Structure formats: C-alpha cells, structure tokens
Amino acid sequence: MRALMIQGTASGVGKSVLVAGLCRLLARNGVRVAPFKPQNMSNNAAVTVDGGEIGRAQALQAFACGIEPTVHMNPVLIKPEADEKAQLIVRGKVIGKLEAKRFREDRIGWLGMVLESFEILQKQCDVVIIEGAGSPAEPNLRDGDIANMGFAEAADVPVWLAGDIDCGGVFASLTGSLNILSASEQARVEAFIINRFRGNRALLEDALVWLEKETNKPVAGVIPYLPLELPEEDAPFRHLEQNELVHSNKFNIAVIAYPRLSNSDDIDPLAGESNVSLYFVRDVKDLNASDLIVLPGSKHVASDLLWLKEQGFVEALQKHLRYGGKVLGICGGMQMLGSVVEDAGVEGGDLEGLSLLPIKTTMKVEKTLRNIDKPSPWANGSRVTGYEIHHGISNEDTSLFPFSACTPDKQVWGTYVHGLFEQGEFRDFWLRSIGGIESDGVNQQKRTLASLDMLADALEQEIAPDLLKPLMQRSV
C-alpha cells in the first residue's frame, strides 16, 4: 500500500488531525511519508519551501512527517472572500477568482494537475497519507469531485471513513455516508475510524459489532478524546467556546474575530501561556477589561474593516487605549490600524483606516510570500521564525523587526509576520516588554510535537494491527 485516504462524514470530524497523527506515527518508524490534500478550502495558509502557499493543515502534517511543506501537498487551495466568491490558488499561486455558481464546472479541469502532484509525492515517499474535504456523500458535489471519492477512484487508493462520536450520531453518519456512495466507492472504503471517544470502551462494543455486521466493514480503531494543542484550520475554534472571563492575576488578551479572519493559529502560542487568559470576541461588549486587543489576519481587509466600524469596535479601541491598553495588529489587522488602505484592483476601493498606526497600505495584486527566520535586533537578538503572506505593501520601520510599526507610546504595534510568537525566547521578551509578565519560554514547535506524539501513541495503540501494518512497509 503506497497511499491511504482519510475521508470524513462531515467537516470538523478530525480528518486533518488523524492524517497528522498517522504521518507522525509512520515517520517515527522510519517510513518516508508525506501528506496530501487535493483540494482545500481555508483562509489559514502557510508558505512552502518552494515559495507558494498551501493550507495550514498540510504544513502541520508535513511538520509531523519531519519534512518541508511543498505546493504539491495541497495543489488546489480555495480561500473564501465572500459568501459566493473565493480566491483560487493552484500549486501555490493565485490564478484568479472562483465563483460559487461555476464551482462544479471550473474544477473539472483540475483533476489531471492534482493527480500529477500526487504522483510527484509518491515517487519521493514510501507512503502518502491523503486527506479528504468535508464529506464524500454530498449529492450536489459528487459530479466532477476531486476532493474525495472522485480523487480516490482516479488515483485508485483505499479509504478509511472517519466519524466524530463526540458530536453524536456517529453510527448514523457512517452508515448513511456509505449508503450514498456508488458500488465501486463503497468497495473502496476499507474501514471506519471513530474519533474523539470519551468514556468506557466496553459500553461501545455492541454498537461496534452492529456497525461491522450492518456494513461488512471493519472498524480500524476508536480513537480517544485527547487534550491536543494543535493549530486548527477553521477559525475561531476553542477560544470562542471558552470565552473566559477576565482574570485579575493574568494578562488578558481579546482577539477580534471578524468574519474573514485568517491564520487564527498565530495566537496559539499566547493561548498556551499559563499567565495569559485569551479569548476571541465578536461583540464589543465581550472585550471586557482586556490588557491587549489583537486584530488578527484577514482574508478580505476591506470588508472586515467595514465590519469593525459597523460593530462599534473603533470607539471601543479608542477607549481601550485611553485607559492604557495595548493593541496588536497582525498582517491584515495591522493594515486596518493604519491611516488608509489604498486599493490597486484587489478588493474594490480605497478605505480610511483606523489611524492608530503611522502607516498606510497599498493593496497590490501580486502577493508577498516568504518564510522568516532571523534574529530581532529590537528583542536583543532573539530568533524569530514565521512567514509573510499578504497583498498589501506598507511603509515599515525595519529597526522594529519583526514588527513593522508602533506608536511612540508603545501602545499600538503592527507586524506582517505570521507565527512570530512560535519561538519561546522572543515570546518571553515581548510579553515582558508589553505586559510585564513572565513567559514559560517554550517553543511552540515543542508543544506541537508533544501533541503529535501523544496522538501517534494513541493511533498505534488503537488501530487494528492488520490495517496498520501495510502502512509501515518501507521501500528497499
């Protein structure tokens, strides 16, 4: 077996995480493995070693494999900009806009290119672990599909179908999804995998026996609910659910979750700090008495800036600053904090910014894509790693790297660098300087790797050996 595809009964059932865990497990056992997702829809992206952009989940999966991400790991990336329009990225480069009404017609021509990228990875590896998108059983999306069974059939790869038991209804969703598939697609489903199980496994046995008898398919494994600290691809995730109250003994960070928020994992290293309480907000009243307000990245700066103004966040930010609070803008968030966002044919017109940073931005059609790994003179030489991925060009003060601008009173900061808090030494320096608090100083990569190893351990223990063994074969 040189490939396995993980498909799911729905979005959010854990496909990305399961693929990352399998990649980590195989890599630990000396298998040359790579991730692959034919088509992804996400505004969380990463910059590849070959100078393109792919879904953030595939970059995480490549990290689990111990290899650098390339554009072939996610040849088609769709980045939503509005309800019926998205930016289309093919092999890492923007090639235009994609409209919902033409989605099914336009994607037909992508299959050959997607298969070619898959074959490139196969030649480099022992095994390729493939991630599907959404559900393979959507009747309106099956014609011309390249993301799920359409790809699996064309590439002739086996499939494990994953369901999330923590959401409820997992047995109905697994059997229902299988029943919608064609006869050849049903035969391609090799096994089921049940994700995020809590409780006593013995109470589940009757249902597992029923599932295998009803479908004539084995259950590859029941994966327990794990306390993982991994970046999530689809924006505001667990922090919105928690929405913690302000803690008097912690540094309180509110992240504004505008509709086109992107790269939400930028704040994960801060959220992992024991002295920090971090939460996303969509309503002004939820800002509370935060110490720092973060304006994160945005896939469509103009629409999110208008949303900020309409929702009353401008007045709230001004009040926050009058009382000595701090503000940080990341990428699109920084562009909003400047005096103006001039448009050169990207988003549809010039807009007045919030005028909280001494910068102005011109949106250019060509994107800036680059990885960052260098010391920060401003932070006593602390190493900064991350990446830039943006349309706009802003006037910058290079002496502040990795920041582009700040106000004379040091209350408002802006940066183009995604992932700038990954390195513990720099994060510690910044938190001490802006909030007077001590960081744990742990590199985020170390936290991520610990979670990946926890996940790989669980998969090794829970997946049926006869199904796992073929994946462990190495080329001579």
* pLDDT tens digits along 306-321: 999 999 999 999 999 9
Q: Is the pLDDT of residue 210 over 60?
A: yes
Put residue 444 in one of left, alpha, beta given phi > 0 → left and psi -120 to 50 → alpha: alpha
Confidence of residue 474 (pLDDT cuts 50, 70, 90): confident
pLDDT, mean of residues 358-381: 93
The residues annotated as belonging to the active site are 331, 418
Q: What is the pLDDT of residues 78-91, one digit of tens each?
A: 998 877 788 899 99
Instruction: Give pLDDT tens digits for 279-289.
Output: 999 999 888 78
Q: Average pLDDT in the 224-238 region?
A: 74
C-beta separation of 402 from 384 below 8 A? yes
- Which residue segments constitute the domains of the chain, with CATH numbers given? 3-230 (3.40.50.300), 238-444 (3.40.50.880)
Tell whether the model's pLDDT for residue 242 goes beyond 70. no
Task: Give the integer Cα–Cα distance in Å for 134 and 157.
Answer: 18
CA angle at 299 for the pair 231 and 291, rounded to the nearest 5°? 65
The answer to whether 78 touches 89, Cβ cutoff 8 Å, is: yes
What pLDDT is stored for residue 85 in this prediction? 81
pLDDT of residue 101: 65
Average of per-residue pLDDT values in the chain: 92
Q: Please, are residues 315 and 321 in contact by the beta-carbon 8 Å criterion?
A: no
| pLDDT for position 154 | 97
Q: What is the strand order of the sheet 340-343 is part of?
A: 351-352, 340-343, 361-376, 382-394
pLDDT tens figures, 179-190: 999 999 999 999
Output the DSSP codes for 225-259: P-------SSSS-HHHHH-PPP-TTSEEEEEE--T
CB 157 within 8 A of CB 3: yes
| Torsion of the alpha carbons at 417, 421, 427 and 431, rounded to the nearest 10 | 80
CA distance 217 to 191: 6
Where are the strands (E) in 296-350, listed by range?
Answer: 297-298, 326-330, 340-343
